Structures are given as structure tokens and as C-alpha cells.
Amino acid sequence: MKFNFRIKLPKLPGIKLPKIGIPRIKLGGAGKIFRPRVLVPLVVIAAVVVVAMLQARLKEKLFKKPAAAEKAMKAPAEGEAPQEPILVKTYKIQKKDFEDTLPLLGTIKGYKEIGLKFEATGIIESFNFKEGERIEEGEIIATLNQKDALLKIRYNEIEADKIQKLFDIGAINSFKLEQAKLELESSKRELDKTYLYAPRSGALGTKDAEVGELVNPNDKIGTLIDSKEVFAEVGIIEKDVGKVKLGQTAVVTVDTYPDIEFSGTVDNIAPVIEGKSRTQTAKIKVKNPEGQLLPGMFARVSCAVYKAQGAVVIPNSALDKTEEGYVTYVVKKTETPALTAGPEKKEGEEGAKEEEGAVEARPIKAAYRSGEFFVVKEGLEEGELVVVETQEKLKDGVKVIVTETQEALF
């Protein structure tokens, strides 16, 4: 006797299933009992194999990516431009007069500061001016106690009169008379030393002594400041040291007169960098004919560190730093119709049209660079478009679409 077993599986769209059969089994002669000890394990193994094959085929059908999607996800080869243009914003180069200024902070100081000292030793009897007051040349600033000096003059006057009478009667020679007159003049000179005269016009700065104080010719009692011209003394941080040079022009303002600008020039630059802040001291000479700027005032200085006429200037955002130097991307464009709907815009107006083209990596050399702008020495011409904003990193030859063109930097 022969038995033939087959397993019928359901049909799935797009999936061909293998036909699995169970081998035929012969039974013995009559009277023999058939015990299917081999048949059952074979059926179970066949079912497991079929389920595994079904799972593999279903996964392949359900999760396989279309060919178009695989092609789109493939990264371009090294050096190959992307297939889709990159959206960029550009600046149209125009030659302009350019000036860069460096903001500085400092203090107003006297152009000439003269230490005031008496020529004699004595006690200060009077101080005729207060700090900051205007003093004219020749005025008496302070005096010493004159009691001793006046007594000495009186004594020498009496001696000179006596000698004169003796000389008149021929009792002494002319040498004695000249000596008495010199001693009288000397005592008068000592009296004059008790006065402190202003050596020039200016303002009294600091007072270093007070009435009643004993002073000698080595003691400074105050400072006279020539205020017709003053200094704005400023500190330059280390990274800006190379920008400030002698003769550069500057504008100085103070809080007392916020609407008045005082013009000056860089007159002196210290040869060293000092202090924990590592700053270099510079002095801006400022004319002060009306005496409005007083020593000690807080000063704000704007120093013109670079000027150029008809310069090619681009923003720093247009730069790309390479091992060879600076590079900017110039758009070689082809005009296309506007991609966005809306009213027609006039020529020259930003956003009037979008332009398609490719970029050229252009090496450029710097004439000057500030915190925001780059003055081009060579490499660019007026009217060219340089990329100032992009969504992706650019390479030479990459296709771009210009969405906006800027025509003014400042």
C-alpha cells in the first residue's frame, strides 16, 4: 500500500511558494500495523522551513527601497557638484570710500603739567586758588610767612643807610658801600621767594600742601596745568596695538558735553605694553581753546586707524580661509524667471528676481581687515557678485540660485 501526502499553502500576491511534498511510504503485507513514527517529524520540519521562507520573502517585498530612492540617497562622488543648486545670498561689489575707527577709553590730562614749588623754606601762609581754577601767568598762587624776610630787609636798610653816611664823609671806601647795597638787595630777593608766581597761564590741578604746613624747595605744593591743549590718555589692548600710529586723527567726546566733538591727533605712543591688562598707552593731543576739557574727565575716543578711497570692500562673511590664503566665491550667473509669484519689482530692488549660475572659488589678497569688513587688494572687480550667505559648504563649480543680492554694506 502507498500513501502520498501534500501540504497546500495559501497564495500571496507576488510571492511564489515552493511545493513541498512528503515522501511516499510503503506499507508491508497484510496483517502489518503502520505506525507513522517517521512521518510526523518530517511534516513538522517541513512546516518550519516553509514559515522561514515565507518570512524572508515578505521582508524582501515589504522593505526593499525603490531604485529611484536608492539613487537619490547616494552621496555624490568626491569633487562632484551636487545635482540640485544651492540657495545663496550675494553682495554686488561697489567701490566705496572706507574708514575704520577704533573705539578707545581714557582720561583727559594736561598737555603740560608743571610742579609748583617755593624757592625758600617756610610756612605756607595763604593759598589763593582752588583746584581746577584758572590762573593767569604772573599771578600769585601762594605765599609763605614773611616775618623773618621783612625783618632782614629792615636790618639791611639800616646798615646800608649807615654805610652811605660814612662813605659821604670819606670814612670808608666804596667797596663797603657796594657790599651793604648787595646785602639789601639779597634780603629783598629773599622776600620775593616767599611768593609763588604762576610761570604760565593754566589751571590749578592738584594741591599737595595746605596752609600752615612747613615746606622747603624740594616739596611740591601743587600742579599747574596748561589747558589750552590737553591729552586724552588712552589704553590700547594688545590685539589692536598695530593699528594705532602717530599722526592718525581722532574724535574725543566727554560726558559733560555729549554733543560736542573735539578733534585731535595721536601725538605719543608708549614703546611698551604694561600692566596685567597688557595695554599700550597712547596720548591724543586735543585743542582746548575755551578750556572746556578739564584734567580728570572721562574721555571716549574714536581713532581713525584706516582710510581708503574707491576701495573694494566685502563683508567677512564672504571669506573662506584655506591653507593658501583667503578665498571668496564669485557667482557666474545666468538670469532665469522669478521662481516666486508676486507683483513685478523694479530693477535694482532686492529680491526682484532669482538668478541661477555656478560659483568660482576666487583667491583674494587683503589690503586691510577689520572686525566686520575685508578690504580687497586684488582678486575682485566692481560689479561682481560674491556669496555672503549659503545653506551648504561651497566648492568651485557648484551650481547655485541667488535668492537675494545686497548692494550696500554701510
> Residue 191 belongs to a domain with what CATH number?
2.40.50.100
Degrees (nearest 5) of the Cα angle 26, 29, 30?
125
Please, are residues 255 and 298 in contact by the beta-carbon 8 Å criterion? yes
* 161/198 same-domain check: yes
Share of the chain above pLDDT 70, in %: 75
Tell me which of 199, 223, 247 is where a domain ends: 223
* 329/390 same-domain check: yes
Q: State the pLDDT confidence band at 348, using cuts at 50, 70 and 90.
A: very low
Q: State the pLDDT confidence band at 342, using cuts at 50, 70 and 90.
A: very low
What would the grid cell of residue 268 be?
605719543
Least confident of 70-74, 144-148, 287-291, 385-389: 70-74
* 304/331 same-domain check: no
pLDDT at site 324: 82
Q: State the pLDDT confidence band at 62, using cuts at 50, 70 and 90.
A: low
The answer to whether residue 74 is domain-embedded is no
pLDDT at site 16: 53
What are 198-247's pLDDT values in tens digits?
Answer: 988 888 888 888 899 999 999 999 988 877 888 999 999 988 888 899 99
* 303/321 same-domain check: no
pLDDT averaged over every residue in the chain: 79
Degrees (nearest 5) of the Cα angle 60, 64, 69?
170
Going by C-alpha positions, the residue among 393, 386, 391, 390 that lies closest to residue 409 is: 386
Please, are residues 91 and 409 in contact by the beta-carbon 8 Å criterion? yes
338, pLDDT greater than 50? no
pLDDT at site 83: 61
* 136/187 same-domain check: yes
Query: What is the rounded CA–CA span in Å between residue 228 and residue 240?
Result: 30
Tell me which of 193, 223, 253 is where a domain ends: 223
Domain range for residue 171?
A: 122-223
Q: State the pLDDT confidence band at 355, using cuts at 50, 70 and 90.
A: confident
Least confident of 62-66, 144-148, 282-286: 62-66
Whole-prediction pTM value? 0.53
Tell me which of 308, 340, 368 is where a domain ends: 308
Query: What is the rounded CA–CA span in Å between residue 153 and residue 147?
Result: 10
The answer to whether residue 24 is domain-embedded is yes
Q: How many domains does the chain have?
A: 4
The answer to whether residue 164 is domain-embedded is yes
Look-up of cell digits 538668478: 355
Query: What is the rounded CA–CA span in Å between residue 20 and residue 12?
Result: 16
pLDDT at site 6: 52
Partners of 404 in beta bridges = 89
Please, are residues 156 and 180 in contact by the beta-carbon 8 Å criterion? yes
What would the grid cell of residue 223 be?
600742579
Q: State the pLDDT confidence band at 84, using cuts at 50, 70 and 90.
A: confident
